[in-house]
Amino acid sequence: MTEKKRKPSAMKILVIHGPNLNLLGEREIDIYGRITIKEINSTLQRVAKAHAAELKIVQSNHEGDIVDLIGKAKKSFQGILINPAAYTHTSVAIRDALSAATIPAVEAHISNIYKREEFRQHSLTAAACVGQVAGFGMDSYVLGLQGLIHSIATRKRAGEKEN
């Protein structure tokens, strides 16, 4: 009897947009530009499709909801692309959730947080991520997703070599 080759399942990635990102295109145009969350999501879906990846995209203004999403992520996803927004600078809870998730995460920011107000120049969450991309507008998300896909694929290959 011949064994059928299984088609590899698509890489699944959770994308989390933090507080106030639902207001992109309307607020602080001088900092964030006119790009909307809908445009970001559409672009991310195109990039994911080109890499045979599936995205679940969520936006929340609530820290606890974000922590819960991250906490459940390792059951269904191979990685997380996150823009914690204001929680970047304040949330030990999100940082700890990312660390506990044990799947790679990449932090993305539309603006360069290191050129902004002093309180925004420190990320509590970045240390729990495999990388951070900031300052390239929507391209920060695209570059972050591409880096995350590469990181997941590299981990998978390393795991296959161990088996």
Considering the candidates 17, 32, 87, 141, report the single residue annotated as catalytic.
Answer: 32
Considering the candidates 17, 87, 109, 141, report the single residue annotated as catalytic.
Answer: 109
- Are 124 and 97 in contact by the 8 Å Cβ rule? The answer is no
Annotation says 109 is catalytic: yes
Q: Which residues contact 92 (CB under 8 A, 6 or more apart)?
A: 124
Neighbours of 97 (CB within 10 A): 23
- Are 52 and 11 in contact by the 8 Å Cβ rule? The answer is yes
Q: Which two tokens mark 123?
A: 């990320």
Three-class SS state of 124: coil
Annotation says 114 is catalytic: no
Measured between alpha carbons, how far is residue 108 from residues 1, 6, 7, 40, 95 in Å? 49, 34, 31, 12, 14
- 77: closest CA among 128, 130, 129, 15? 15
Catalytic annotation, residues: 32, 109
